[in-house]
Chains A and B, each alone.
Chain A
Amino acid sequence: MDIEVLQSRSRMVGVLREFFLSRGYLETDTPALAPSLIPESCLEVFATEYVHPTEEHRPLYLIPSPEIWMKKVVAETGRSVFQLCKAWRNAESVSRIHNPEFTMLEYYGVGLSCDDNICLTEELFAALAAQETPPRARPPFRVMSMSEAWWEFARADLDALAEPEAMRAACHERGLLVAPDATWEDAFNILFLSLVEPALPRDRPLVLDRYPAGIECLAADIPGTMYKERWELYVDGIEIANCFTEMANPEAVRKYFSSQSAKKRSALVPHRVDGSYASIFEHFPPCSGVALGFERLMTVLLGKKSIAEVLLFPFEAFSC
């Protein structure tokens, strides 16, 4: 049991709380048990139920992220908000970057764009860095767009690969296995994960910017392009954070819900969907939010190799 790590954790929590409070952010505290969630086909959740003494039981879900609740607070108050809380994701293989229960730091800045959030996140890293933080985890961040990375590391022109057939052909040309009926998104991920992601530079943190709109999510589109206002932060090859300029168009949000709900039909753990969610965007301020895996952040800032090293009781050590 590494008590020093526990002390580092409390130091970091103290620093980040002061960091956001001093910038006028409101700290939120939202439920961990939710009656319904955002449909996200990329993840599985934990389901449980409320056992009512006399009436019907009610299904409840452990949140995979506090996103829904926090955006409701943003819509209601127009304030920037932050929260550090537990989140849960099911059916992921436990590894050096995955633990089924983890701590999520989310911060939503009203009036900010996802570019502004790059600067804010750099400042946060500077504030949290410790003596043992290696140069590869210290700011300034390197910023590279997804299309630059594709050209640099796979000699592929991402703009020319907008159609599923072209994306599958790009995989084939590079000797990569791809199913003849693979979707654009799957073929994109096959090429990205095989050739681009392993080659990303690791000498300092990397913001991989402008994700293709072909990967469905709740980020705003960049008009006239095939990209979204979305970035992912990689530190030492680990995905630490995801940022969007929030999609604030209720129609687009409804479309996302119906498309993801269809994909979610094959989910291992089905869940109820929050039907009222899209309506909060009828009066939503311009806003950009970041979701950051706090144990992953601790791992890289403390120069560790695995999140198990920063957890007092890692899942893999549980004996059932």
Chain B
Amino acid sequence: MVRGGDIGIGTCLLINGTPHIVVEREFVSPGKGSAFARVRAKNLKNGNVITQTIKTADFVEDAQVDLVDCQYQYSDGELFHFMNNETFEQFEVPLAAHEDRAPYLKEGETYTIVMWEGEPIDIKIPYKMVFTVAESENYIRGDTVSGATKPVTTETGLVVRVPLFIKQGEKILINTETNEYVERVNE
């Protein structure tokens, strides 16, 4: 069980028997009422996001989850294929419930998979990741103000804005929460 006031982003709640991960949380005190935590939680089976309001002093059921390091292998359009780094066991995660993760999945990279009752229910994306610029338009130097940016597409299909000096084939570090460019990575 978890106390309403202790729920944060990333807390896994068991709502009507289905695990949900909290993606937003705010504390609200309605006029003349007690304090509540209002959360937006993603159903980890079908990806639907719902709102729940929990009194900060009340307890609700949380989902007991395990975190397992796994290597992402490929997507076949319907399933993401992963391999457990310790047991080498292969398994699939349905794409439909985690479509928003697709642009962050790089083949051969290790991700933390959230397991609940032996089933993979979420893919955790590292806070910062290195991507390769796959497509970039050429901008003419000198005709723009300083600090100008352009959109590029990474090898995974993620579109981000980067400074004009970034060229196709270069590696860039991206904040995956905000999709903001952090820096160029020289290897």
Contacts and interface: CB of A to CB of B under 8 A. Distances in A.
B38 A194 contact: yes
Interface string A195-234: 1011000000000000000011100000000000000100
Could you tell me the dominant secondary structure of chain B's interface residues?
strand
A195 B38 CA distance: 11
A41 interface: yes
Given A93-B27, A177-B54, A177-B60, A190 B36 contact: yes
Contacts of A177: 15, 52, 54, 60
Interface string B10-37: 0000011000000000111111111110
17 contacts: A40-B32, A42-B33, A91-B35, A92-B27, A92-B29, A93-B27, A95-B26, A186-B34, A186-B55, A189-B33, A189-B36, A190-B54, A192-B30, A194-B53, A197-B30, A232-B31, A239-B30
6 closest pairs, A vs B, by CB? A193-B53, A93-B27, A194-B53, A194-B51, A217-B32, A190-B53
B50 interface: yes
Contacts of B50: 175
Interface of A: 40-43, 91-93, 95, 175-177, 179, 185-186, 189-190, 192-195, 197-198, 215-217, 232, 239, 242
Interface string B36-57: 1010000000000011111100
Given A93-B27, A177-B60, A194-B52, A42 B36 contact: no
A42 B29 contact: yes
Interface residues of B, number: 22
B58 interface: yes
A216 B34 CA distance: 12
A287 B29 CA distance: 26
A179 B59 CA distance: 9
B27 to A, nearest CB: 4
Nearest to A93: B27
Given A42-B32, A175-B16, A192-B30, 8 more contacts: A92-B27, A95-B27, A176-B53, A185-B33, A189-B36, A190-B53, A194-B52, A217-B32
B87 to A, nearest CB: 35
A192 B32 CA distance: 14
Contact of A239 (B31, B51, B52, B54): B31
Contacts of A216: 32
B181 to A, nearest CB: 24
A189 B55 CA distance: 9
B32 A215 contact: yes
A249 to B, nearest CB: 18
B38 A193 contact: yes
A1 B29 CA distance: 29
B51 A195 contact: yes
Contacts of A239: 30-31
Given A179-B58, A193-B28, A42 B34 contact: yes
Contacts of B58: 179
Contacts of A193: 28, 30, 36, 38, 53
B35 to A, nearest CB: 7
A242 B29 CA distance: 13
Nearest to B29: A92
Contacts of A186: 34, 55
The interface centre, meaning the residue of B28, B33, B55 with most chain A CB atoms within 10 A of its CB, is B33
A241 B50 CA distance: 28
A133 B38 CA distance: 29
Contacts of B60: 177
Nearest to B16: A175
A120 B11 CA distance: 45
A186 B33 CA distance: 8
A78 to B, nearest CB: 27
Contact of A41 (B16, B26, B34, B52): B34
A237 B2 CA distance: 28
A179 B50 CA distance: 18
A215 B50 CA distance: 26
A247 B35 CA distance: 25
B179 to A, nearest CB: 20
A74 to B, nearest CB: 21
A215 B32 CA distance: 7
Nearest to A172: B16
Given A175-B16, A177-B15, A242 B31 contact: yes
Contacts of A92: 27, 29, 35
